Structure 1
Amino acid sequence: MALTDDSGFRATTFVVIDFETTTPSGHPPQPIEVAALALRLHDGAWTETGRSTCLIRPPAFAPVTPADTAQTGLTAEQLANAPTPAQALGALDRRLTPGTPYLLVAQHAATEANVIHHQAERCPTLARTNLIDTIPLAKHLVPGLPNYKLDTLMAHFGIPHPPDRHRAPADVDVTAQLFLHLIAAADRDPRLDSLAALFKTAGRTAKANQPVQAGLFDA
């Protein structure tokens, strides 16, 4: 059976997500932009079921630096009147429909998982959503590349390089294209014949869903 014939896969909405962040000393990365693109396989064709993008005003301890601006093009002036993290991530969280099976999709999903985990109070549903990482999936399906950076994978699959690369909306679009290329390749791989097999190969359990270990000295 092909992956896209699996009932669990067909029932899942895949939400490609990307954050741009600042990285303040002594604190975890703080989001300054988020974009998300929801995809669902329906009658053999992929359908976009939702899209969201939002600038985010960082807290005072995490100002936009010249290095951040050089990377993303975003400036402190652009973000000065943007929604707060609570507003932006709360709005994104409310777009997730209760009872719908979701998986987040990200390039190097540990980055997105870490941002979401540290913002979990503002986006509790998002924080409980597990992830698919395109890097281990690409390593499984396309062995032998010199590296598995997004630009390398884009070149391998012939995905055009957007002029605003390193902005969240552009990176979500190219990551979504990469994901669809990888799923097409996975459909030809007999080892990836179910959603469970896909998650075993490339899944990442959200920190909110991981078991809590008792403290070493708990009574």
Structure 2
Amino acid sequence: MGLTQDPTFRATTFVVIDFETTTPTGYPAQPIEVAALAFRYAEGAWQETGRSESLIRPPAFAPVTPADTAQTGLTPEQLQQAPTPAEALGALDRRLTAGSTYLLVAQHAATEANVIRNQAEHCPKLARTDFLDTIPLAKHLIPGLPNYKLDTLLGHFGIPQPADRHRAAADVDVTAQVFRRLIGAADENAQFRDLAAVVKTAGRTAKFNLPVQAGLFDV
């Protein structure tokens, strides 16, 4: 039985997520845009089940800088009337259906995981959803690349660079394409017979799901 025949794999909705952020001195990265693309594998093909994108108005202590604009194309003026983090991330969080099984997917998942953790009060369901990271999965399945940056993986798979690379929706779309190619490779690899094997290689447990260690002097 291959990976895509695994009942757990088929029951899981994969949600590729990407944030654009601004990083103010002395504070964690603050989101200024989020996009997500959800899909499941059924009847031999990937089926999209939803997508979402939103600009996010950063707090006053985290203004969009010229460097941020150079990277993303987003300007302070564009974000003045954008939803707050509570509004944007709350709306995304409400799209996760109770009782369904989700895994978040990201390129260098630690970045997205940290943003979600720091915004957990606005998106408690997202904050308890584990991640798959495309980088360790790609390293295992495609050894020998010069690096495992997204642009390198796009080149390896022959996926065209989007015109608006470094915008959340564009990055989600191409990351989803990379992920599906990696799953295709894993499906042909005897080491990946089920989703548990993929998680073992590329999983990142949400910090809110980690056990809390008791202090040494708790009584």
TM-score category, normalised to shorter length: over 0.9
What SS does the aligned partner of 1:186 have?
Answer: helix
Length-normalised TM-score, structure 1: 0.99
The Cα shift of 1:42 comes to 1.2
1:207 and 2:210 matched: no
2:162 is matched with 162
What SS does the aligned partner of 2:165 have?
Answer: coil
What SS does the aligned partner of 1:162 have?
Answer: coil
1:117 and 2:101 matched: no
The Cα shift of 1:212 comes to 1.1
Residue pairs, 1:63-102, within 5 angstroms: 63-102=63-102
Unaligned 5+ runs, structure 1: none
Residue pairs, 1:1-219, within 5 angstroms: 1-219=1-219
Q: Residues of 2 paired with 1:203 and 1:56: CA distance?
A: 28
Unaligned 5+ runs, structure 2: none
Amino acid at match of 2:167: R
Measured against aligned partners, the alpha-carbon deviations of 1:3-41 in whole angstroms (never above 9, x if no partner) come to 000000000000000000000111110000000000111
Measured against aligned partners, the alpha-carbon deviations of 1:38-80 in whole angstroms (never above 9, x if no partner) come to 0111111101100000000000010000110000000000000
What SS does the aligned partner of 1:161 have?
Answer: coil
Q: Residues of 1 paired with 2:218 and 2:61: CA distance?
A: 34
- Once the two structures are aligned, what percentage of the paired residues are identical? 77
Q: Residues of 2 paired with 1:94 and 1:214: CA distance?
A: 32
What SS does the aligned partner of 1:197 have?
Answer: helix
Taking a change above 3 Å as real, the CA distance of residues 216 and 63 of structure 1, as seen in their structure-2 partners, is farther
What SS does the aligned partner of 1:92 have?
Answer: helix
Q: Moved runs in structure 1, 4+ residues, more than 6 A?
A: none
Q: Residues of 1 paired with 2:213 and 2:61: CA distance?
A: 31
The Cα shift of 1:213 comes to 1.7
Q: Residues of 2 paired with 1:99 and 1:69: CA distance?
A: 39
Across the aligned residues of Structure 1 and Structure 2, the Cα RMSD in angstroms comes to 0.7
The Cα shift of 1:215 comes to 2.8
Q: Residues of 2 paired with 1:133 and 1:91: CA distance?
A: 24
Q: Residues of 2 paired with 1:216 and 1:202: CA distance?
A: 32
Amino acid at match of 1:89: L
What SS does the aligned partner of 1:146 have?
Answer: coil
Q: Residues of 2 paired with 1:56 and 1:213: CA distance?
A: 35
Q: Residues of 2 paired with 1:94 and 1:121: CA distance?
A: 13
Q: Residues of 2 paired with 1:41 and 1:104: CA distance?
A: 15
Amino acid at match of 2:85: P
